[in-house]
Structure 1
Amino acid sequence: MKRITLAITLGLVLVAQAAKAADKEATPQQSKMAVCNKDAGDKKGDERKAFMKECLSTKSAATSAGVTPQQQKMKTCNADAKGKTGDERKAFMKECLRAKS
């Protein structure tokens, strides 16, 4: 009986830790990696490697162009909402813009 209780408790702790890890916000570097990865598109091999190196090592083009983080977030959310319309788009945009980057 003690082993079953211990196993259940251990399982609950692991599930709680996994949920907590999923709720953590992405670091700026992780966000930049996601943007660069998306921008890399279908590039493969050395071309992709060179693109990613350049993208990750330079300042954000948005920052150097005077675009605020909120404007950049709006641009990204708009691109991700492509194909959605009406209430579906409205709900998506609300959630996307509310999410911390």
Structure 2
Amino acid sequence: MNTQLVKRAGAAFNQGDYRTARQLYQQAAARYGQQLFSANLALCDKALQGGTSSRVVTQALSSDASADVAANRQLADTQQLLEHYFMRCQELEYRLLDR
């Protein structure tokens, strides 16, 4: 598996270029299997509709006067870790497919 396509898609997403990321993930899905990239495509769609999921959640909690600042930070950190481990899991899965 050529991981450069997936790395480029991830980099585009992290830079906020969701359209390019979506196109690259679609190419990867066509090449390697839709089931591997359905979550990535969903995140791109969500970002194109109004921001990344972590930003939407953080903004929603920040606008709520009763929300605790520590809880907002913990939620953002948890979202970031979740995205990191999801990407790591995909990398490991690609390595297995390359064997």
Instruction: Point out the structure with the larger helix share.
Output: 2
Could you tell me the TM-score, scaled by structure 1's length? Answer: 0.27
Could you tell me the TM-score, scaled by structure 2's length? Answer: 0.27
Q: Which has the bigger relative contact order, CA under 8 A and spacing at least 6?
A: 1
